Amino acid sequence: MPARRGARSRRCAPRRKRRSSSESSAPRLDTEPTRLRSGLSWKMFRYLAGVPSRWAVADSPVPAALGRLRGYSLAADRDDDPNFFAMVEGFFDRGAAIVEDQLVEDLKTRETAEQKRERVRGILRIIKPCNHVLSVSFPIKRDSGEWEVVEGYRAQHSQHRTPCKGGIRYSTDVSVDEVKALASLMTYKCAVVDVPFGGAKAGVKINPKKYSDNELEKITRRFTVELAKKGFIGPGIDVPAPDMSTGEREMSWIADTFATTMGHYDINASACVTGKPISQGGIHGRISATGRGVFHGIENFINEAAYMSRLGLTPGFQDKTFVIQGFGNVGLHTMRYLHRFGAKCVGVGELDGNIWNSNGIDPKQLEDFKLNNGTIVGFPDSTPYDGNILEAECDIVVPAAGEKQLTKSNAGKIKAKIVAEGANGPTTPEADRIFLERNVMVIPDMYLNAGGVTVSYFEWLKNLNHVSYGRLTFKYERDSNYHLLMSVQESLERKFGKHRGAIPVVPTSEFQARIAGASEKDIVHSGLAFTMERSARQIMRTAHKYDLGLDLRTAAYVNAIEKVFRVYSEAGLIFT
């Protein structure tokens, strides 16, 4: 494997040199204070880093694609529309500035204090940029006979852990900047939840609604071949997953294409992608994983009395109302689990309209209505909501649609006390600052929507192990549980006798449900819940350690930076 990675790096190096200035690799990071990236105001920069950071980035033009009208993907406020990649880098800078001294202190080397500091700063500069960006263009023949050229991108932010991991989205608004930003978020997200992957992201610049199923299959399979030719896909190299406008079907096409071409001799070929159908090596619980993870993330904080007292709320879901922006996969499953545990959904927003019902909206009925009608507008027992659904009266607001929806123009109007970021990057730095000033708790995206990559990790392991979870132990656990009950019954009968007949031992309903042993879905759900709980505790401890209050985003970045830094520091660096 080391030789293979080295070969890949040699192939990637010329590609990086050939990219135009608009698609250059991550900006140079200087030790001297640098100018601000365009789109970042001085006020915002001071909030992000406190002082000009040693890892601040040089000026870089904002891609024109970000200036086009694009629904949820556009910032809600054109005056607060920072470069997405710069946004992520700015949050990184703030976390790095806070944790630098601790990293220096923790270094156990024979270097001087100044040498240790230079080592820490150097590794932080290594972590920040995007390592590789692949840009491809390829032709497809449409059903009408016309030819069309399709653009696609794949960004690999970090190989501190391999393989890289990140979804593939289909959208006309895909850009190099967007995939780089999302790839960097994936690196930090995986670190926060202790999933041993580097971050990556891909995008194909199409509107999938304008293509037939046959055309989408052609595009997906050709994009897979392009990734494989350049070493950007493989079980130990780079593992894609579903994202916006992609799902099980597309992942199945990717797995089949790779397995019948570049992966023909690889026994682990099915592990080249996750989010597949069960019949193709997928795992139970993957479809709902991100939404379920959002629920668990909210649960861990809403049950914490110390945080709820800060917000003036009582712990638990029972008296809470919530609003969802975006009724896709993440929004639907988040709504379903919150509803199941006692919270009440009073509003749902989509691109074509918002609905409201102060008495509550049933997620199953809304799902069926949308499947039958293609929209949530006109849902029975609801009224249209004319304003911004994010500003509605509720306790919890869940932006689960696109980036930069909460900006300085509407952050002051948000009535919810908890902002749960189901989408990637829905809050701009200016809005984040306003929320902190208003004592609103923001549960950050890099933690909250990590359920998808967590269960993808379980699926990847399943594919490498070539056996489903629970298969080897299912019968043994079931027999052991029955023997346990029989042992208890025999012990009681020996003690008290059987004068009045056998002494019945009746298991509780909870034990009865588990007596047959854990299924694959049970194991996945349990593993996800444990991962989200452990990561939440780590964020809480870090927030307390550095006296960050409700700034959970910075606490999460500090955790991620510490973990990635440790990998680089202990592995050492070569060819430097």
Active-site residue list = 201
Q: What is the DSSP letter of 129?
A: S
Q: Nearest to residue 560, comparing CAs of 431, 426, 445?
A: 445
- Give whole-number Cα distances, 493 to 479, 499, 505, in Å: 21, 9, 11
Positive or negative CA dihedral for 535, 96, 548, 103? positive
Dist. CA 536–CA 297, nearest whole Å? 7
Q: Nearest to residue 246, comparing CAs of 351, 327, 170, 183?
A: 170
Dist. CA 273–CA 258, nearest whole Å? 9
> Tokens in use for 207?
């509107």
**27 upstream amide cis, omega within 30 of 0:** no
Dist. CA 457–CA 165, nearest whole Å? 9
Give residue 324's identity as a one-letter amino acid code: I
For residue 480, give the H/E element and its range: helix 474-496
Burial 520-536 (b: 16+ CB within 10 A, else e): bebbbbebbbebbeebb
Dist. CA 576–CA 326, nearest whole Å? 46
Find out whether 179 and 201 touch, Cβ atoms under 8 Å.
Answer: yes
Find out whether 106 and 440 touch, Cβ atoms under 8 Å.
Answer: no
> Tokens in use for 141?
């023949």
- Give whole-number Cα distances, 361 to 218, 337, 352, 378, 380, in Å: 39, 13, 18, 13, 10
> Tokens in use for 193?
């939840």
Find out whether 236 and 163 touch, Cβ atoms under 8 Å.
Answer: yes
